[in-house]
Amino acid sequence: MKKIRYSIILLFLALVVSIVGNLTISTLALFFDTYILHLQQGKPSLATQGVFLAKALALLIFVYGVFTLISNLKIFATGDFFNSKLVTTYHKAGSLFLFSGIIGIVISLISIFFMMNYGDIHNQIYLNIDSKGLYILLMILGLFFRLFSAVLKKGNIIQQENDLTI
């Protein structure tokens, strides 16, 4: 179990490093005129900067949701599935994933409109964190974790009633 836990922590750190690196490169290019990729041809519009900030917020909410799940991994490993803290963790992570997915997909759809109408296409390289499939998957995972927390909560109530009967 320790190998699995260390593998999960290592993957989480890789996720954080990749997201922070991506956000840093995009922030430098979109807000500080530092063109790391040398692809930009003009100053980005405020709409592009706003889209980036909203997508960055969605990614940071996602990372916080993953951190919430990992921080309570020990409870799950002990086999105490009906622990109220575990139920709360699943509900919270599900809500964070769902919220992150909703923000991401809405902003992605709005950004398509802005980019087509205002012609700020050359700055799209810095918005490469756009993945509509990822946002839909996050919403599905969020709903799953919320449903799973409701099932565990119901199981906790049944277990408590069963313990009182014995």
Q: For 127-162, what is each residue's pLDDT tens digit?
A: 655 577 788 888 999 999 999 999 989 988 888 888
pLDDT of residue 38: 62
Domain ranges of the chain: 2-165
C-alpha angle with apex 147: 79 to 106, nearest 5 degrees?
130
State the pTM of this model: 0.79
Give residue 3's identity as a one-letter amino acid code. K
Q: Report whether pLDDT(83) > 90.
A: no
User: Are the C-beta atoms of residues 109 and 75 closer than 8 Å to each other?
Assistant: no
pLDDT of residue 23: 83
